[in-house]
Structures are given as C-alpha cells and as structure tokens.
Structure 1
C-alpha cells in the first residue's frame, strides 16, 4: 500500500486556523465530502465517536483521526495543514498542525490497519514533517506525501 492509493490531490487542504478540535473535525468532514463524496455528518459523527475512545493526537504536532464508515469500498484519506496549531489532547500535550484523517469500510480489518501504520510511520519522519510544514500549496503537499514511495506498508 502507498499513500497515493489512499490520498488524492483534492483531499488536501491548508487551513489558516481551527478554533477547536471539534471545528477541525467538521473541517475534515467537509473535505471528505468534497474530495471523496462521503456524507459530512456521518464522517464527523464517526470521528467524534472514535475520539471519545481516546485522542488520536500521536505527538509532535501530528494527529491521525480515523473512523470506519458503512458504504465505502476502500480506505480513503484526507490531509490538512493548519497554519496555527490547535489543541487535540495529544499524548505529548502539544497542539497539532498536521492532520491525516483515514476513512475505512466498516469491514476493512487489515487494510485499515495497514493504512494507519503507513500514515503513522510516514508522519514520524521528522524531515517529511518539516517539508510539509514549510509548504502551503496543496499540490506541493500532495507531491511531498506521495513522491517518497519508500513509504509503503507491508
């Protein structure tokens, strides 16, 4: 699996700021609807439900919100860069500015886990995150995320 298989150029957005984690989840829902045709309300609800189990802020300014949704047939992603970080209840208590959201079919066990592992491993790369933070253009962000094809899941 490669990032280019779960992320498409129109699923990337730079947002000046989000007033809260809740607002950010709504922004993710809007992006999922416009890029993937997913129901915004269902996306937001599923992400909020997942967050209630434990925050998906993984540290170092990165959050990986994810949810399983009925009616989709493959894992899909959305990526947001925030110009001003927002509190996401991350494990290191630092606000987040890089958000990679994943949406998986309800029955996708292994594929969902592979995608989550791939994104997590990719965004642990300090150099990659530095490049992402230094760019505000969605097309450039897509190229950065998908060009390094050594970022593959097993």
Structure 2
C-alpha cells in the first residue's frame, strides 16, 4: 500500500486556525465531504466516537484520527496542516499542527491497520514533518508526502 493510493491531491488543506479539537474534526469532515463525497456529519460523529476511546494525538505535533465508516469501499485519507497548533489531548501533551485522518470500510480489518501503520511510520520522520511544516501549498504537501514514501521504497 502506498500513500498515493489513499490520499488524493484534493484531500489536503492548510488551515489557518482551528479553535478546538472538535472544530478541527469538523474541518476534517468538511474536507472528507468535498474530496470523497462522504457525509460530513457521519464522519465527524465516527471520529468523535473513536476519540472517546482514547485520543489519536500520537505526539510531536501529529494526530492520526481514524474511523471505520459504512458505505465506503476503500481506505481514504485526509491531510491537514494547521498554521496555529490546537490542543488534541496528545500523549505528549503537545498541541497538534499535522493531522492525517483515515477512513476505512467497516469490514476492512487488515487494510485499515496497514494504512494506519503506513501513515504512522511516515509521520514519525522528523525531517519529513519539518518539510511539511515549512510549506503552505496543498500540491507541494501532497508531493512531499508521496515522494518521501517513494524514496524510502526504492
């Protein structure tokens, strides 16, 4: 599995500010609707439900919210870079400015886990995150994410 398979170029956005974790998840839902035609309200509810089990802020300014959704047939991703970090109840208590949300079909066991592991491994790279934080253009962010993984695979 490659990031290019789960992250469309139009599923990336830079957000100037989000006032809260809930507002940020609503921004994720809005982008999921425009990029993948998913029901925004259903997406936000599923993400909030998953967050109630434990926060998905993995540390170092990165959050990986994820949910399984009825009615979709493949794993899809959303990438947001925040110009102003927001509190996300992260494990290291640091605010988040990089968000990679994943949506998987309800019955996608292994594929969902593979996608989550791929994104987690990718965003654990501090140099990559530094490049992402230094760019505000969605097309550039997509290219950085896709090319970084391609270089590591080679």
Q: Same fold (TM over 0.5)?
A: yes
Pairs within 5 Å for 1:50-129: 50-129=50-129
CA shift at 1:150, angstroms?
4.5
Aligned residue in 2 for 1:8? 8
Q: Distance in 2 between matches of 1:59 and 1:36?
A: 27
What is the TM-score with the length of structure 1 in the denominator? Answer: 0.97
Q: Distance in 2 between matches of 1:140 and 1:8?
A: 13
What is the TM-score with the length of structure 2 in the denominator? Answer: 0.97
Q: CA RMSD in A?
A: 0.8
- Unaligned 5+ segments in structure 2 are none
CA shift at 1:151, angstroms?
5.2
Aligned residue in 1 for 2:138? 138
> What is the CA deviation profile of residues 65-108 of structure 1, one whole-angstrom value per residue up to 9, with x for unaligned ones?
00000000000000000000000000000000000000000000
Higher helix fraction (1 or 2): 2
CA shift at 1:124, angstroms?
0.2
Q: Distance in 2 between matches of 1:151 and 1:8?
A: 20
Question: Does the Cα contact within 8 Å between 1:86 and 1:97 map onto a contact in 2?
Answer: yes
Q: Distance in 2 between matches of 1:40 and 1:67?
A: 13
Q: Distance in 2 between matches of 1:110 and 1:119?
A: 14
SS of match in other structure, 2:16: strand
SS of match in other structure, 1:46: helix
Q: Distance in 1 between matches of 2:75 and 2:86?
A: 26
Q: Distance in 1 between matches of 2:121 and 2:132?
A: 15
| Cα 1:151–1:90 shift into 2, 3 Å | farther
